[in-house]
Structure 1
Amino acid sequence: MTEAIQVHPVREVRVGDRSAHIDEMLAPVVEALWRNEFETLTSCQDAGESNADWLDVLPHMATYMEARKGWAFVDFPIEDGLRFLDAVARSGPRDAFYVRMTHWAAPDAWDVNVKPMDIAMFDETRESRFQLRLLQVCFPASDLPEILRRLGRFEAGELVAPAPTDWTTVGRPRPSSTVRAEVRAFVDLGPLPAEDAAGQEELEEYERRLHRITGSVSDDEARLLVDCFGVDNCYGLAWTLFHLVETAPTFRIDVEPPAGANDWVVLLWRRHRNAVRHA
């Protein structure tokens, strides 16, 4: 998987009997791919930088190279590439990341290509015969951390149940309602009770209704659930609710809450702020 002329810093990746020198930024992802038994061919952490010397002999490629700056790619045998896409899609919420890896018209949409190749390109004595041999997945390098997180979840068997997706960024209308009955049933109970004031039966009812909400939540559901935090941890139910809210595709607390706001809402804002800073 090494390039003929190495442009980026590399480190050795070794999994079982496989090893190669991989671009430094991509190395953790390739290692995770190999651990999950995905076969890879070539890769690069920045396609625009790695082929910059093309312009000396191929000046017509200038527009292509400029468009590929900041974009990484991994080449797979076709079946492995499709399994990779399945794994990444199933190991996280159907959020904005999912939309851009899935739909060609999304902002920063992934570029996934399968191109026929003529075997005569490699042996000009042979008759032309086209074959499908390679699937290339090209994506913004900023998506590398999320790809790595999802591969880790896939390896651990932590798959996310199917859930509604917000497709408004690709022109689809927002559903008139994306709030499920089980979410409304939980919201109807009101905010989580304080640990020192709740009775056993009341806690059990909150727990039952909360655990009926499976998979990711929609943005509309998250907006309702964020008002259900109480004053404390409520014996762990607050953390369950917290992580559920974070599965929403685009809903985030992106403005600092006012003084006196619920501590859990403040924590949601801090997590979003830190994620933006480290993106």
Structure 2
Amino acid sequence: MDNALITVLIAMLGGAIRVSTPFMFVALGECLTEKSGRINLGLEGTLVLGAMVGYAVCYQSGSPWLGVLAAGIAGTVLGGMHGTICKLPKVNDIAIGIAMMSLGIGLAFFFGKAYIQPQAAHLPSVPLGGWTGNKELAVALDINPLFFVGIAVAVAMAWALRNTRWGLIVRMTGDSAAAARAMGVSVDLVRFLATATGGFLAGVGGSFLSLYYPGSWNEGLSSGQGLMAVALVIFARWDPIRCFLAALLFGAAGALGPALQSVGIVQGYYLFNAAPYILTLFIMIASSNSKQALQAAPGELSITK
């Protein structure tokens, strides 16, 4: 039983690192967007389109890192479109986000038909578990460089939001558009840049899905991770470091079903596979009545009004 428990924990560790990476990038992108006072529910479409574009460019060029860059650019385009449309008067950012999600998924499915079967090169991994002498742990500690990039982005974003003029402008715009305008800040420009940058990060997260884990392009790749990232940002209280930690939690929850299956526990397998969705539902219910969550929320978000 002890060996089975260790096996499950190791599998969840590996799963937390792998599965959390797209959550991390999408959550960080949404965190930045919401810090500027805008909600972008379209990041699910950005994630899927990023996965398709990254895979297609990698297949055509042979370079997975070029695919990652292309996925980020595709995400920037969708984010920029969202930001541009939301500048128009009497436009609801939540409704536009849903429309952009449909657009991103539709474009990915339409242009991605030709790339479902072909095999593209995968992103490399960094083996960090050779010293352990444990084969399962060594496999769990084969980590993709994008995971480390995500950590660096989280730390840099947290520092920049607290310690730089740029961070102050973003936070001021998100907390009070009127105060930002009084200081001569272009609220529309700040939100446009934040939304486009958030789209770039979500697109990079999508490239991880198709170029590393699970490492192929198909139309059921995302499984709602872009939408769950919105709940993750609320759970993390709009803090980039907490977004990283929450992404690890969601990743471990996503790895629970396969981890239990690896030790022969198949009873309730589909229920365990639904753990991330159950966790999302629990977080949304818990946060809906949480005064602490609303206090941490940027004042310009529609959920605070």
TM-score (norm 2): 0.22
Which has a greater percent of helix?
Answer: 2
Larger Rg: 1
What TM-score results when the alignment is normalised by the length of structure 1? 0.23
Structure 1 or 2: more strand by fraction: 1
Structure with bigger RCO (C-alpha 8 Å, 6+ apart): 2
